[in-house]
Structure 1
Amino acid sequence: MSDLYNVASSPHIRSKASTSRIMLYVIIALLPATVFGIYNFGPRALGIIVVTIASCMVSEWVFNKIRHKKQTIGDLSCVVTGLLLALNLSHTIPYWMAIVGGGFAIVVVKMLFGGLGQNFMNPALGARCFLLLAFTGPMTSFTFDGATGATPLAIIKGGELYSDSMAMLTGRIAGTIGETSVIALLIGAIFLILMGVIDLRIPGTYILTFAVFIILFGGHLTSGDLVPFVVQEICGGGLILGAFFMATDYVTSPITPRGKILYGIICGCLLGIFRMFGASAEGCSYSIIFANVLVPLIERVTIPKPFGKGGEK
């Protein structure tokens, strides 16, 4: 009996997936959008990406060194944070601003709360929102083909449709380094789904809820413009990047199946409110961060009851 019955502490189910392997999968999934961003915006986009990743890695190494903690840069989470932050930045911002953003993401949002697994919001999004508030002008200035102009979302916000929906799918438009090409982002998202890193509950619910919201409240357009309006709102801005690569962050999103659906609904409704009724044409980062704050409450009301527990009285 003693050979067959072993008592051990949890966890009793183990997985071969390690943090570094999951992060490596995310990096691979982001490569199509990264390569396209460099092709779309030129060598300076590559410079912003390299500087931001380096800032995140150095910040985490220095913080651990000062606090006499075990070095954690080998788990690649700081690389993912730096890459995601860089893809959310304009290629025209000063390099020092990217360095500040990387340091804020790692030190303030991640390490001061205990490191990986303890942060209450996505570090890359937290840093992007910080930069948006601190340096609004450079963060909202976008250049494409040498000309500075409005993004497709800004044009839509003004009550008109963007002239070229196909360009929004392929990515030949103004925007941040990694958000423009829907095709490149979807290639990476499919890879993550096939590798079992994410599922469709959060991104699917997020996008579907947002689509329903803008159908209901985007009444300033005629019925004939409704379909292209919805398509352009989904393809424009950071929705696809945010839905598949940041809203699905393991640390800051719910783990329960019902919680993931509720979380996606909240993200979609918040984004709809920001875009339809807010002053800005975007709002994806803020929608995910606000939903991050609600995750403990979401999990509290959606956690399954233990097996064998009776109904509530």
Structure 2
Amino acid sequence: MSPLESVDQRLQQAMKLVLLAAAPGLLVMFWLYGWGVLINLMLTALTALAVEAAVLKLRRRPIQSSLSDGSALVTATLLTLALPPYCPWWLTVSAAAAALLFGKHLYGGVGSNPFNPAMLGVALALVSFPQSMTHWPAAHGVDLFTGLQQIFGFSLSQTPDAWVQATALDALRVNKSLTIDELFASHSAFGRFGGRGVEWLNLAFLAGGVFLLQRRVFTWHAPVGMLASLFVISLLCWNGSGSDSNGSPLFHLLSGASMLGAFFIVTEPVSGAKSPGARLLFGVGVGLLTYLIRTWGGYPDGVAFAVLLMNLCVPALDRFVAARQQRAAS
């Protein structure tokens, strides 16, 4: 077996394990929001595979072997987990196409992308269609026919009020009068510790992440760095349960895309840092930026932008850690 074939096999095995680890999160998301999750997954997967095949054909690269590595399906799955379940079909298709084109193939394909493709697709969708991207349905979705109508036949502005609500992070960010206890007691987006249902979704991603750690798909440095820094800064900035509270550390860990980001996004090997120390710093930076964007930024959840900003810092982080190691050795 040639070295190239060995690398391809390791990549395929890693992608299969990531898809397997994401399955609990997909199932919980389907339980929470209904058929829109599976419709989104179908749209992102078909778009990602079609764009991948088209670009490979234009580049005169082998299509079958490249498609079989699973990287396009992983990007599609992560996009599905980050997009609102009943957003318009054209938004889902646009985000998937942008992720493959501008996040992957613009730089040469697998192994060359400086940005996380899925997060680039999410960020472009957030900037281009902010209203649609912030319309998340209430927990426990609708039947298949209504979901198909919503995605393919109507815009989100026509969504019934019973479907759509502000997320817990969004409700906390704009809150000016209610205490934390009052928010948890009166607002349907809040669960026991974090977002209603979303806390279970985060626990499902945590379970998938522990599985990937156990299988050594990635090291602990980036996810621990992100979750630890998110915990520490939210603890330091936690100002109790008053109306001006920024939320407890547990709230931030179990709301939004915290666990998805920690175990499925910052661990992406190509756009992330290379050495263990740099990976730790990369994760720390993502956690800090996520909290800052959530609390004082313009978007309720900042994982996508935090990851992309830290992607820009990867060369500097790798050089910084390498220089320190050289000084320590000398």
Tell me the TM-score normalised to structure 1 length. 0.85
**Hey, what's the Cα distance between the residues in 1 that align with 2:47 and 2:251?**
34
The answer (yes or no) to whether the contact 1:214–1:276 under 8 Å persists in 2 is no
1: CA distance between counterparts of 2:325 and 2:261?
33
In the alignment, which of 116, 124, 131 is matched to residue 118 of structure 2? 124
Larger deviation, residues 266-275 vs 234-243: 266-275
Alignment of 1:137-176 (within 5 A): 137-144=131-138, 145=140, 146-157=162-173, 158=175, 160-161=179-180, 162-163=183-184, 164-166=190-192, 168=194, 172=197
Q: In 2, Cα distance between the equivalents of 1:132 and 1:15?
A: 34
- 1:75 is displaced (CA, Å) by 0.5
CA shift for structure 1 position 128: 0.3
In the alignment, which of 2, 6, 18 is matched to residue 10 of structure 2?
A: 18
In the alignment, what sits opposite 2:279? 260
CA distance in 2, matches of 1:17, 1:300: 30
Residue 242 in 1 paired to residue 261 in 2? Answer: yes
Q: Which residue of 2 aligns with 1:5?
A: none
Count of residues in Structure 1 that have an aligned counterpart in Structure 2: 291
Q: Report deviation, 1:221.
A: 4.2
Equivalent runs, 1:1-313 vs 2, <5 Å: 18-71=10-63, 72-144=66-138, 145=140, 146-157=162-173, 158=175, 160-161=179-180, 162-163=183-184, 164-166=190-192, 168=194, 172=197, 181-219=201-239, 221=241, 229-303=248-322, 311=330
Q: Using the alignment, how far apart are the partners of 1:91 and 1:127 within structure 2? A: 15
The Cα shift of 1:277 comes to 2.0
Greater percentage in helix: 2
Alpha-carbon spacing, 1:255–1:66, altered in 2? closer, same or farther (3 Å):
same
Distance 1:199 1:283, change over 3 A: same
**Structure 2: how far apart are the matches of 1:273 and 1:44?**
30
Deviation sequence 1:220-247 (CA, Å, 0-9, x none):
745xx89x72211111111110111001
Check conservation: 1:218, 1:276, Cα contact below 8 A. Answer: no
Structure 2, unaligned runs of 5 or more: 141-161, 185-189
Question: In terms of mean alpha carbon deviation, does 237-246 or 140-149 score higher?
Answer: 140-149
| Letter aligned with residue 196 of structure 1 | R
Deviations 1:55-95 (A, max 9, x none): 01110001111221122111000000000011100011111
Q: CA deviation at 1:167?
A: 6.9
Alignment partner, residue 4 of structure 1: none
In the other structure, the counterpart of 2:143 is none
Would the alpha carbon gap of residues 67 and 184 (structure 1) be closer, same or farther in structure 2, given more than 3 Å must change? same
Distance 2:263 2:251 in 1: 18
1:3 counterpart residue number: none
Higher deviation after alignment, 184-193 or 19-28? 184-193
Change (3 A) 1:212 1:168: closer
Q: Tell me the SS of whatever aligns to 1:181.
A: helix
Q: 1:119 touches 1:251 (CA, 8 Å); kept in 2?
A: yes
Q: Distance in 1 between matches of 2:29 and 2:284?
A: 29
Deviation at 1:280, TM superposition (A): 2.5
Using the size of structure 2 for normalisation, the TM-score is 0.81
Distance 1:25 1:221 in 2: 40
Distance 1:216 1:22, change over 3 A: same
Query: What is the alpha-carbon distance in structure 1 between the residues aligned to residue 238 and residue 193 of structure 2?
Result: 22
Residue type of the partner of 2:111? G
